Amino acid sequence: MARITAGVATSHVPAIGAAIDQGKTRDPYWAPLFDGYDFSKRWIAAAKPDVIFLVYNDHASAFSLDIVPTFAIGCADRFEPADEGWGPRPVPNVIGAPELASHIAQSVIESDFDLTIINSMKVDHGLTVPLSLMFGQPAAWPCKVIPLAVNVVLYPPPSGNRCYQLGKAIRRAVASFDQDLNVQIWGTGGMSHQLQGPRAGLINTVFDQQYLDRLILNPAELATMPHLQYMREAGSEGIELVMWLIMRGALDERVVVRHRFYHVPASNTAVGHLILENPT
């Protein structure tokens, strides 16, 4: 039987990908950030997931304004890196897990979550930067990935509670898959940041640290936070944090915190990172 063993939360700032691709990870600006992922690389080498269910948002790469799905699950057998305006990132193709993805899609749609099915798409920094942070620069990604793209670009994104409940449905779906698979779920994006307008550069460390605390200890209550509070306190792009609630919803009520890291800044953004395990 497949089971979700752990969850990872991490920001997915494009400049982090550029720093990795250009060999700048030991520069004084970047070293403190990448030091925060040293433990994570060792942890995941030992954890050896078979599949990562990776919650992220597309940044006008695979989806344009023509089609804006609220939740879209990638059921393809591979996903190539997108050209976001400066050429595709030099990272391996992402290998999908079509059978498990289709099983999850069927299961959660039948339990009232109307996912959009994607059988062909390219993946942008939102998905590949977390892989790079956790795995470094391998010739091939060491496990399969199921992308779940969430709309957080065109207002309104799904509510925090909808995300949290979807996480629970994904967990049930994974548990009913009959292959013996070690599955992790990752929630990406955030933390506080604003990339637009005169308020660009906003960072709210108090909000972020409280968010991490509440995500660990009291996610059901955190899931009731209205969008307005994210936008006001964590910046217009801080709303990406709702995606972390999908990850959290798929884990046990009580989790073991294996790693917690917070760093300001990566370009315009506060970087948060958690590794949570289900108690065995």
Partner 1 sequence: MALQKPYADIPGTTIFDADQARRGYHLNMFCMSLMKPDNREAFKADERRYLDRWPMTEEQKQAVLARDYNRMIAAGGNIYYLAKIFSCDGKSFQFAAASMTGMTQEAYAQMMLSGGRAPEGLPDEQDNDHG
Binding site for partner 1 (CB under 8 A): 14-15, 18, 59-61, 64-66, 82-87, 153-156, 192, 194-205, 207, 227-228, 231-233, 235-237, 264-265, 267-268, 270
Q: Report how far residue 57's alpha carbon sits from residue 127's, in angstroms, rounded to the nearest whole number.
A: 8
The enclosing H or E element of 222 equals helix 219-222
Q: Least Å distance between CB 251 and partner 1? A: 29
Indicate which residue of 193, 227, 259, 263 is catalytic.
Answer: 193
The residue among 184 and 204 lying less far from partner 1, judged by its C-beta, is 204
Q: Which residues pair with 196 in a beta bridge?
A: none
- Check residue 112 and report its DSSP letter: T
* Helix (H/G/I), strand (E/B), else coil: 93: coil
Q: Report how far residue 280's alpha carbon sits from residue 275's, in angstroms, rounded to the nearest whole number.
A: 15
Q: Least Å distance between CB 34 and partner 1? A: 17
Q: Report how far residue 129's alpha carbon sits from residue 84's, in angstroms, rounded to the nearest whole number.
A: 13
Contact (Cβ atoms closer than 8 angstroms) between residue 85 and residue 152 = no
Residue from 263, 140, 245 nearest 208 by CA: 263
The residue among 138 and 201 lying less far from partner 1, judged by its C-beta, is 201
The residue among 151 and 165 lying less far from partner 1, judged by its C-beta, is 151
Q: Least Å distance between CB 236 and partner 1? A: 5
In the residue annotation, 193 being an active-site residue is answered as yes
Indicate which residue of 12, 103, 125, 263 is catalytic.
Answer: 125
- Please give the structure tokens belonging to residue 169: 């449905």
Q: Least Å distance between CB 13 and partner 1? A: 8
* Helix (H/G/I), strand (E/B), else coil: 185: strand
The residue among 198 and 279 lying less far from partner 1, judged by its C-beta, is 198
Q: Least Å distance between CB 63 and partner 1? A: 10
Dihedral through CA 4, CA 62, CA 163, CA 205, nearest 10? Answer: 100
The residue among 237 and 277 lying less far from partner 1, judged by its C-beta, is 237
Give catalytic residues, as residue numbers.
125, 193
